[in-house]
Amino acid sequence: MTCIVCGHAQRAGLASWHASCRRCGYESAALEGAINAASTEVPLDEGKREAGLKALRQDNFRDIVALARRHARPGARRLLDVGCAHGWFLETARDHFEVLGVEPDAVVGGRTLARGLPVRRGFFPDALEAEERFDVIVFNDVIEHIPDIGAALDACHARLADGGLLILNLPNSAGFFYRLAKAFARAGWRGPFDRLWQKGLPSPHVHYFRPHNLARLVAGHGFDLVHTQELPSVRARGLRERMACTGDLSGAALHLQYAAVLCTIPLLKVFPSDIIVSVFRKGETTRAAMH
């Protein structure tokens, strides 16, 4: 396999489906998604998943909206949220932008639409009208799930207005928990590593980036890096609900583990976070000229 970032040959990784590039650090997975399929390898309780993720993502989404407002050009109004899921980002951004969401999961997208949020069900960019353009396009925990990421970036370039922003919020392969999961996998315990790749879920991760190789890839599709930063991967608010939905613990065991993790949150600040957000601006060079 050839690295999509630097073109170097990837080597076999920590599982039969995993590969990594020694030169730039990019990691990939030969995992196939099954969005809207009748069944999955791992049963997915969407209600519990929503309860476990909502508080963390809402807090991080406020930071991302602030970044969009800070870096968007004057007069920027139209914002597209690709893979909007439950609509939490749309709710956060709609006070400042004219928002639209695209969601391929028919069940989740239908529930979000029923709550009165502006959602198109389908895949990006097919769900958009031919001439639709946006000032800001955001991918929240989505771009790492898209197999043909190059085509997705090209579509973003085509759908953004001149000087528009592309904001990518995604996992960080330099993050503390990801590196810990890799250490466990090398020792023979693959569970945490499989879970971070979302193996067996309807839409598994197929890419893992860190800031420098992400910036290199996106630059090759006509974008200039404006800003990058880490976002908290663990916050106190909503932590207990998140632990309850991702593990098998309950009762006293859950309470003890929750208390232990809560105490480590201040210490985690000295390590790289497992979530990064990068802001890119559409370059002046057109895609036609680049090719």
Question: Could you give the percent of the chain with pLDDT greater than 70?
Answer: 81
Residue 40: its pLDDT value, please? 45
CA distance readout (Å), 52 to 9, 58, 234: 38, 11, 11
What does the mean pLDDT of the chain come to? Answer: 87
* Structure tokens given for 32: 């196939």
Does the N-terminal peptide bond of residue 125 adopt cis geometry, omega within 30 degrees of 0?
A: yes
- CA of residue 24 relative to chain centroid, distance: 20
Q: Tell me: the pLDDT tens digits for 37-75?
A: 654 444 445 555 555 467 778 889 999 999 999 999 999
Taken in order of first residue, the domains within the chain and their CATH numbers are 11-32+42-290 (3.40.50.150)
Q: Flag whether pLDDT at 140 surpasses 80.
A: yes
pLDDT band for position 291 (cuts 50, 70, 90)? very low
Q: What pLDDT is stored for residue 285 in this prediction?
A: 55
User: Residue 71, class by beta-carbon neighbours within 10 Å (0-12 exposed, 13-18 middle, 19+ buried)?
Assistant: middle
Q: Give every CB contact of residue 171 below 8 A, 6+ residues apart in sequence.
A: 141, 144, 178, 196, 205, 208, 209, 274, 275, 276
User: pTM of the entire structure?
Assistant: 0.88
**Tens of pLDDT, residues 280-290:** 999 975 444 44
Alpha helices, H only, the chain: 46-71, 88-93, 106-114, 149-159, 176-186, 191-196, 211-219, 239-246, 251-268, 287-290
Classify 200 in phi/psi space as left (phi over 0), alpha (psi -120 to 50) or beta.
left
